Structure 1
Amino acid sequence: MIARFNETGRSQVLAKRMPGDLSEYSVIQTKEPLDREGKVSRIVEFIEKPDQPQTLDSDIMAVGRYVLSADIWPELERTQPGAWDVFN
């Protein structure tokens, strides 16, 4: 992940396929299907423990490993906290 980050300068998220109920996981929708191991694709939607995961056409979950670029900070500054002052 770090090597890919250093190569591209873009944030990286480790993910894997998880068939079945994804309501207890972070679900990722990618721009293009991940058809092989090691495939890289842009994330178009990322939902933490969705109430209705079937609304996303995805069986991909975030494993909980991230390498984030500095581009995240302006986005966080624009994000309003939700319930219990948690960022959603």
Structure 2
Amino acid sequence: MARNQNQGKMSREEAGRMGGEATSKKHNKEFYQEIGKKGGEATANSHDKEFYQEIGKKGGDATAESHDKNFYRDIGRKGGRN
């Protein structure tokens, strides 16, 4: 991606993309699992039950808006199978 027109400086988007690409080359799957676990634990320690209820409802509402009843029928048939 070409540099933006801001005096040859990189945009935040460009810097973020480049940083993400460099990080992905430097670290493996276990690194991402570890930081994900730490982030999840930190979130759990700083939020209560109502927080999780709220984000669960938002996710459920968003899913309901973007899927029809066939989607729910199909995932219902799959159940807990892996």
For the aligned pair, the TM-score class normalised by the smaller chain equals under 0.3
Which structure is higher in strand share?
1
Which structure is higher in helix share?
2
Q: What is the TM-score of this pair, normalised by structure 1?
A: 0.23
Structure with greater contact order relative to length (CA < 8 Å, sep ≥ 6):
1
Q: What is the TM-score of this pair, normalised by structure 2?
A: 0.24
